[in-house]
Chains A and B, each alone.
Chain A
Amino acid sequence: MDKKNIKEIEKEMKLANKGLSEKEKTLFSDARPKTVRPLNKYLEKFLNWARAESLWILGFGTGCGAIELRPLMTARYDMFRYGIAPRPTPRQSCVFVIGGYASMKTIKRIVRSYEQMQGPKFVIALGSCTINGGMYYDSYNTINRIDHYIPVDIYIAGCMPRPESLIAGFDKLKEKIKANECDGMNKYVENFDWYKKNQKRVIKDWNMPDYNW
């Protein structure tokens, strides 16, 4: 067999869903995620411009950094003038803001929420805890590098970053989207097994499907 054929077969392989019981396996999908190819050049450019100008963030405060998102919504910083608005559920939003440290209990929810979001989706990680663990680098409960578990587009350093730097981070994200550099979703699909291996190393009781739709 050719190498190409093996790869294609592997891609069509179904997920094991080992964490589910036999009864639950029938309820969840076992298909692998697929890469999304960009459309033709000019249409994609137009779409990227449209995506960059309306960012819907998922209101999921995972850590102490979520406190910095509140002043962004109020009149003083007013993120609505930049085309950024909060949404309550993952299925309706396209930017996932990870606010600060992610504990071992939260990373399970982060993975679930990230996989439920519809593409194109972007991730902003704020606070030094998400970069290298920050002041909790030796804690038994804090994830040190968030980019080993989900792909991250923009990091905002600080402990905690001020709302101004958050706005700067959103500006940077807009530039990256317009330049067609935010390819985290496809990166996640291509390295799917590596991400899953890392996630399962931390989440010991995996009682959810391997990929949520």
Chain B
Amino acid sequence: MKQLLNRIKDKIEIEFLKQRDDLYFINVEEKHIIFLLSYLKEQEEFTHLSFLQAVDYNEYNMFQLTYMLYNYETKVNLGIKVIIDREKSEMTSIHKLWPHAWQFQRELHELYGINFPGSPRVNESFVLEGWEEIPPMRRDFDTKKYSEKTFYQRPGRYTKNPKDYMKEKLYKNFVEPPKIRRKDDE
């Protein structure tokens, strides 16, 4: 693994993090991503794309995409993290490297509003049919408010504070221990 990282470091700048013996993460800039992915796929035998997911960092105004690759020879997972702009929210499509990536990209387009130009069927709805609001997995979308607005609430739902409730239920006859006065307190 160290040799591989050195080989990558010769070509582009990366940050690197070891999570486990079989799980590594690489932070890379957006412009290098296609080069890095195709290099890993063609030369280093990371032939399997496990998933592609996004995290919304609302407060820093960015999305973080994670491409998870797997090597069947060495049995190593390698995650590649890229940060993209939240306002623009556009990313180059990788459906030519891994054909099944179009499904992940379609999902991200619907749930996060990240656009992948050129990806096949990216505008089709995935789970939300006829969605009119902002994409629901963005953190500024208020899901509870939307639920109250759209669906009918059944009255009679209430919550208890678990600390008070368990205290009342389990230790009903609980007596506070008397305070022992010490000379130091005075």
Contact = CB atoms under 8 A, between A and B. Distances in A.
B129 A202 contact: no
A63 to B, nearest CB: 14
B157 A143 contact: no
| Chain B contact residues, majority secondary structure | loop
Given A132-B153, A132-B154, A144 B147 contact: yes
A140 interface: yes
Interface in B129-164: 129-132, 136, 141, 143-144, 146-147, 150-154, 156-157
A132 B156 CA distance: 9
Contacts of A105: 127-129
Contacts of B156: 132
A142 B150 CA distance: 10
A149 B64 CA distance: 39
Given A144-B154, A148-B152, A139 B147 contact: yes
A45 B143 CA distance: 48
Contact of A145 (B141, B144, B146, B154): B154
A204 B131 CA distance: 7
A10 interface: no
A131 B154 contact: yes
Interface string A122-151: 000000000111000111111111001000
Given A138-B143, A138-B144, A143 B151 contact: yes
A199 to B, nearest CB: 12
Interface in A171-211: 198, 201-205
A interface, how many residues as a size bin? 20 to 34
A121 interface: no
A104 interface: yes
B107 to A, nearest CB: 14
Contacts of B141: 140
Given A138-B143, A140-B143, A201 B150 contact: yes
B127 A140 contact: no
B152 A144 contact: yes
B130 A204 contact: yes
B129 A108 contact: yes
Nearest to B156: A132
A17 interface: no
Contacts of A204: 129-132
A116 interface: no
Interface of B: 127-132, 136, 141, 143-144, 146-147, 150-154, 156-157
17 contacts: A104-B129, A105-B128, A132-B154, A132-B157, A133-B147, A133-B151, A133-B154, A137-B153, A139-B143, A140-B146, A140-B150, A143-B151, A144-B147, A144-B152, A144-B153, A204-B129, A204-B130
Given A139-B143, A144-B153, A202-B151, 6 more contacts: A137-B157, A140-B143, A141-B128, A141-B136, A142-B147, A145-B153
Interface of A: 103-105, 108, 131-133, 137-145, 148, 198, 201-205
